[in-house]
Amino acid sequence: MKGIMVMGTASDVGKSLVCTALCRLLANDGIRVAPFKSQNLSPYTELAMDGTPISRAQFIQAEAARVEPAADMNPIILQPASDGTLTGTFCGKRLEPVSGMAYRDVYYEQAIKAIGHSLESLNESFEAIVIEGAGSPVEMNLLARDIVNMRVAELADVPVILVADIDRGGVFASIIGTLELLKPTERNRVKAIIVNKFKGDPAGFQEGIEFIESYTGIPVAGVLPFKSDHGIAEEDTERPETQAPSGVDPYDAWSEHVQNHIDWTLLKEIMGVASR
User: pLDDT tens digits, residue range 1-36?
Assistant: 899 999 999 999 999 999 999 999 999 999 999 999
Domain containing 60 — which CATH number?
3.40.50.300
Residue numbers of the domain that contains 44: 3-268
Partner residues linked to 196 by β-bridges: 165
The pTM (predicted TM-score) of the whole model is: 0.94
Is the residue at 275 inside a domain? no
Residues 6 or more apart whose CB falls under 8 angstroms from that of 141 comprise none
State the angle between helix axes of 250-259 and 56-65 in degrees (0 to 180), rounded to the nearest 10: 80
User: Would you state the pLDDT for residue 91?
Assistant: 84
Is the residue at 273 inside a domain? no
User: Would you state the pLDDT for residue 243?
Assistant: 56
Is the residue at 132 inside a domain? yes
Reference 146, options 1, 257, 5, 2; nearest CA is 5
Q: How far apart are CA 44 and CA 109, in angstroms?
A: 26
> Strands, E, within 125-269: which ranges?
128-132, 160-165, 190-198, 220-225
- Asked if 68 and 50 count as a contact pair (C-beta separation under 8 A), the reply is no
User: Would you state the pLDDT for residue 254?
Assistant: 97
pLDDT band, residue 245 (cuts 50/70/90):
low
Is the residue at 228 inside a domain? yes
- Asked if 3 and 158 count as a contact pair (C-beta separation under 8 A), the reply is yes
Q: What's the whole-number average pLDDT of the chain?
A: 93
Is the residue at 206 inside a domain? yes
pLDDT band, residue 38 (cuts 50/70/90):
very high
Q: Taking residues 113-137, report their average pLDDT.
A: 97
Is the residue at 274 inside a domain? no
pLDDT band, residue 246 (cuts 50/70/90):
low
Is the residue at 232 inside a domain? yes
Q: How far apart are CA 156 and CA 73, in angstroms?
A: 13
Mark 92-114 as b/e (b = at least 16 C-beta within 10 Å).
beebeebeeeebbeebeeebbeb
Contacts 24+ apart (CB under 8 A), 180-187: 181/138, 181/140, 182/137, 182/138, 182/150, 183/150, 186/137, 186/150, 186/153
Q: How many residues does the chain have?
A: 276
**Domain total in the chain:** 1
Q: Taking residues 198-212, report their average pLDDT.
A: 94
pLDDT band, residue 241 (cuts 50/70/90):
low
